[in-house]
Amino acid sequence: MVHVGIGYDVHALVVGRKLILGGVEISHSKGLEGHSDADVLMHAVCDALLGAIGEVDIGHFFPNTDPRWKGAPSRVFLEEAARKIQQLQGRIVNVDATLIAQQPKLFPHIPAMKANLAAALAVTARQVGIKATTNEGLGFAGREEGIAAMAVAAVDLP
């Protein structure tokens, strides 16, 4: 039986932080604020996977008050989500995500992001969809105050 999940995340863009999206460090004047590496794409995908298996969100497993996760690469969270699925004898069918960022241009980085997500989840790049869009200058994303990501996941559970 295929179960689907949805994930959504936002982080504020601030000066003095690295911009890491899908495990790729992207050259930009600002980066995302957060306790971990603030990889908004990986967080949204993680929540989609956890949602598909009826679990609570990523923040529950990796609280931002825990010093262990300070600056942690978000790949760790994805690996944990994949492990939980494996424990249930489940199989990731696919994940698909959209990044919403006015700046910088993300298209050139998408193949590397896909490769990173596929590696963290032990799936093929074909099972990982990543798109990027601007917010047409509207709202917090359009004003470059933050970057948002939404994701869905399908998981085959016995």
Binding site for Zn ion (CB under 5 A): 9, 43
Give me the least distance between CB of 74 and Zn ion, in Å please. Answer: 8
Tokens read off for 121? 């989840």
Give me the least distance between CB of 41 and Zn ion, in Å please. Answer: 9
Interatomic CA distance for residues 21 and 85, integer angstroms: 23
Please say which residue, 20 or 121, places its beta carbon nearer to Zn ion.
20
Give me the least distance between CB of 38 and Zn ion, in Å please. Answer: 6
Please say which residue, 43 or 109, places its beta carbon nearer to Zn ion.
43
Please say which residue, 10 or 53, places its beta carbon nearer to Zn ion.
10
Contact by Cβ (8 Å): 19, 105: no
Measured from each CB, the residue nearest to Zn ion is: 43
Distances (CA, A) of 93 to 12, 83, 99, 111, 151: 31, 15, 20, 19, 14
Nearest to 48 by CA among 146, 121, 140, 106: 121
Please say which residue, 28 or 43, places its beta carbon nearer to Zn ion.
43
Long-range contacts of 117-120 (CB under 8 A, 24+ apart): 117/22, 117/23, 117/41, 117/42, 117/45, 117/78, 120/23, 120/42, 120/75, 120/78, 120/79, 120/82
Please say which residue, 72 or 93, places its beta carbon nearer to Zn ion.
72
Give me the least distance between CB of 40 and Zn ion, in Å please. Answer: 6
Give me the least distance between CB of 27 and Zn ion, in Å please. Answer: 21
